[in-house]
Structure 1
């Protein structure tokens, strides 16, 4: 596809085309991180993010649906579900690290004493 295509000004074609490479890179990064035994007694998982950051949660939920023994919920909102508590793992995801909704969810997760993992390339998150 052409750069600066008036039909695809955001170059979504390239984003979709590159998606498998991004998944492979994310898998490589994920395998290098050891989270075993850091958090225990988790009863549910919330992935808080917007746009592509939330889509990552959707993909993970679909890929893990037959393996997960606890509920996994994707939140695309400023607020977390009211059932989030200290037995919830909240994964806040924002590419920039400055997405308002993700930052709001992060702060709320702290107040609710949830277990938190933040994923970003920088920013306030």
Structure 2
């Protein structure tokens, strides 16, 4: 008989069960976004892209705003001034996400950063609005 260590499975179950609470908390945060956009481009890699993918899937049939997730190193051709760019990186150190964040700023897009810290937080702080 093989003995399995189930600690990581138990921790994952706790994280998943708290997901709806996390969503409720996130929805209550004022993002300071006041403009109506035609497009939302969410950039993240790995686990940081999962929230964006869930959001994009949930909006697919119910919204006139197109939502897409980018896991690339360049902005799509359709990106324009009616696009909100959202950079997601828990650590704030994901190279690709930071690179894309800078591209979005250079393109003149409105940007939102979702992060716990790191370089992405530092880059976004001067852009933070107090609503």
The CA deviation at 1:21 is: 2.2
Q: Which moved more, 1:57-66 or 1:113-122?
A: 57-66
- Structure number with the higher helix fraction is 2
Q: Deviations over 1:82-119 (max 9, x none)?
A: 33233321111111221112101101111222221111
How does 1:104-115 map onto structure 2 within 5 Å? 104-115=99-110
Secondary structure of 2:112's counterpart equals: strand
Aligned 8 A contact 1:78 1:100 in 2: no
Partner residue, 1:122: 117
Q: TM-score, normalised by structure 1?
A: 0.75
| RMSD (Å) for aligned C-alpha atoms | 2.3
Distance in 1, Cα, partners of 2:7 & 2:95: 26
Q: TM-score, normalised by structure 2?
A: 0.72
Q: What are structure 2's unaligned runs of at least 5 residues?
A: 121-131
Q: 1:34 and 1:111, CA in 2 relative to 1: closer, same or farther beyond 3 A? A: closer
